[in-house]
Amino acid sequence: MVQVLESLESRLRNWTQPVVRWARRKSPWILHFNSGGCNGCDIEILDTLTPRYDVERLGILKEACPRHADVLVVTGPVTRQTRDRLRRIYEQMAEPKWVVAVGSCSCSGGIFAGGHNVVGGVGEVLPVDLYIPGCPCRPEAIIDGIAKLLGKI
């Protein structure tokens, strides 16, 4: 009886998997976190969210709360002060979740690398799925990166 139920469940899961994957690809809700950048990249991200670029076409919504978000967008180098907070925000997000590092700083530390208070890029702290370099990167680059990430899901 249990075996029958289990096989039924796995079969159901196989059926629903494509639908679920499609849904995830079509509705990434993002959470934006500045871990210590100069604000340049943050402004580019806000640009990306303006009506001119209209990312709601791709189903992207900006959420204010880690629990609702699927994609954590980090800008700036990780400083020693924000390291634990970044980690905690990541842990508060519900699975499945992705991390995108936007800007040279969050990719490698950028011009801040080697500073006494800087840990380095986001990759030092979290598993990053996508790096978008640029200082600051253009909204087009961010949209292109997000589209590539969606293709990966």
Residue 42 binds other proteins, judged by CB under 8 A: no
**Helix (H), strand (E) at residue 102:** strand 98-102
Residue 40 binds ligand SF4, judged by CB under 6 A: yes
Other beta carbons within 10 Å of 58: 16
Residue of 1, 14, 96, 116 that binds other proteins (CB under 8 A): 96
Residue of 28, 32, 33, 41 that binds ligand SF4 (CB under 6 A): 41
Residue of 60, 71, 72, 76 that binds ligand SF4 (CB under 6 A): 76
Minimum gap (Å) between residue 80 Cβ and other proteins:
26
36: closest CA among 137, 117, 141, 134?
A: 117
**Residue with Cβ nearer ligand SF4 (28 or 36):** 36
Residue type, 88: R
Of 3-11, 16-24, 73-81, 107-115, the window that binds other proteins (rule: CB under 8 A) is: 16-24
Residue 37 binds ligand SF4, judged by CB under 6 A: yes
Residue 10 binds other proteins, judged by CB under 8 A: no
Q: Rule CB under 6 A: which of 101-120 touch ligand SF4?
A: 103-105, 110-111
Ramachandran angles phi, psi of 74, nearest 5°: -110, 135
**Residue with Cβ nearer ligand SF4 (110 or 145):** 110
CA distance 144 to 9: 37
Q: Please give the structure tokens belonging to residue 36.
A: 């210590």
Q: Please give the structure tokens belonging to residue 13.
A: 């899961």
The DSSP secondary-structure symbol of 127 reads -
Cα dihedral across residues 49, 44, 95, 25: positive or negative: positive
Minimum gap (Å) between residue 9 Cβ and ligand SF4:
46
